[in-house]
């Protein structure tokens, strides 16, 4: 009798565990999953290439290359080396956009609803991302995951994006595709990626070169 009771309890416990696990899995949203992937990346350094793509996903036009760094939350560096030298630095609540050819820098408050570069979202607080965008997971096989971000409100839509897609492979950021309000698409590929290695704080501090005009847009 005791033996039968023990078997019943084991079977019941196993069923309860499976059911509870299924409930937890079912309540995990795409936003939760994206947040976890981003939060696993405390820092990131990489090279990038950015280019326009046509409706078939084929590259068209000129390619832009450079390096990027981020430290979550709120620190971001995007340095274009080809074809023209430009630099974006985000540090907490300030953005600096430097154009070497024009010898000018524009300084403004950070606005993740209207980022000057969509890749800035990768370093944004997860809370601001989930408030500004509807986040869905696009079905992919294996370790290839895509998430789609669509602006929630008219204010967010003023950023000029219809949607932003972010790709992770084996838990690591791999690419982004951006569609603007004119239905023009561009793709950013990341390579030589280094995750969670300490980055010097100086990389997120902007110092104006000599003879640079500074414009405060606030």
Question: Helix %, strand %, coil % for the chain, to 5?
Answer: 25, 45, 30
Q: Is residue 9 part of a domain?
A: no
Name the band, by pLDDT with cuts 50, 70 and 90, for residue 85. very high
DSSP 208: P
Query: What is the rounded CA–CA span in Å between residue 76 and residue 98?
Result: 14
Interval 90-109 mean pLDDT: 90
User: Which has more confidence, 96 or 217?
Assistant: 96
> Taking the CB of residue 19, how many other CB atoms lie within 10 A of it?
10
pLDDT > 90 fraction of the chain, expressed in percent and rounded: 45
Is 17 inside a domain boundary?
A: no
What is the pLDDT at residue 196? 95
Strand 59-71 with 75-82, pairing: antiparallel
163 beta partners: 179
Residue 18 in any domain: the answer is no
Pick from 99-103, 138-142, 181-185: least confident: 138-142
131 located within any domain:
yes
pLDDT at 9 over 60: no
Residue 105 lies in a domain: yes
**At residue 181, does pLDDT exceed 80?**
yes
Check which CATH number belongs to the domain holding 116 and give it: 2.50.20.10
> What is the pTM assigned to this prediction?
0.81
Q: Tally the residues of the chain.
A: 218
Count of domains forming the chain: 1
Look at residue 157 and tell me whether its pLDDT is greater than 70.
no
Residue 154 has pLDDT above 90, yes or no: no
Mean predicted confidence (pLDDT) in 79-90:
94
Decide which of 13 and 100 is more confident.
Answer: 100
Residue 128 located in a structural domain: yes
With respect to residue 3, please indicate whether it lies within any of the assigned structural domains: no
Residue-range definition of the domain harbouring residue 165: 29-216
Q: Which range among 11-25, 53-67, 102-116, 189-203 shows the weakest confidence by mean pLDDT? A: 11-25
10 within a domain of the structure (yes/no): no
**Per-residue confidence (pLDDT) for residue 140, from 0 to 100:** 67
d(CA 57, CA 130): 27
> Is the model's pLDDT at 192 over the cut of 80?
yes
């Amino acid at each position: 009798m005791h033996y039968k009771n023990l078997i019943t309890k084991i079977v019941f416990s196993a069923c309860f565990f499976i059911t509870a696990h299924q409930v937890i899995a079912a309540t995990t949203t795409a936003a939760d999953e994206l947040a976890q992937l981003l939060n696993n990346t405390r820092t990131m350094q990489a090279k990038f290439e950015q280019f326009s793509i046509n409706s078939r996903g084929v590259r068209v036009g000129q390619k832009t290359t450079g390096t990027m760094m981020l430290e979550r939350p709120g620190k971001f560096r995007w340095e274009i080396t080809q074809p023209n030298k430009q630099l974006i630095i985000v540090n907490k609540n300030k953005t600096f956009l430097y154009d070497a050819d024009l010898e000018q820098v524009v300084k403004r408050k950070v606005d993740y609803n209207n980022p000057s570069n969509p890749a800035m979202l990768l370093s944004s607080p997860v809370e601001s991302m989930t408030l500004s965008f509807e986040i869905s997971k696009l079905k992919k096989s294996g370790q290839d995951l895509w998430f789609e971000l669509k602006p929630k409100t008219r204010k967010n839509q003023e950023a000029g994006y219809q949607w932003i897609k972010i790709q992770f492979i084996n838990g690591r950021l791999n690419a982004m595709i951006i569609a603007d309000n004119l239905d023009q698409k561009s793709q950013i590929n990341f390579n030589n990626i280094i995750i969670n290695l300490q980055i010097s704080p100086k990389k997120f501090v902007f110092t104006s070169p000599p003879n640079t005009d500074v414009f405060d847009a606030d």
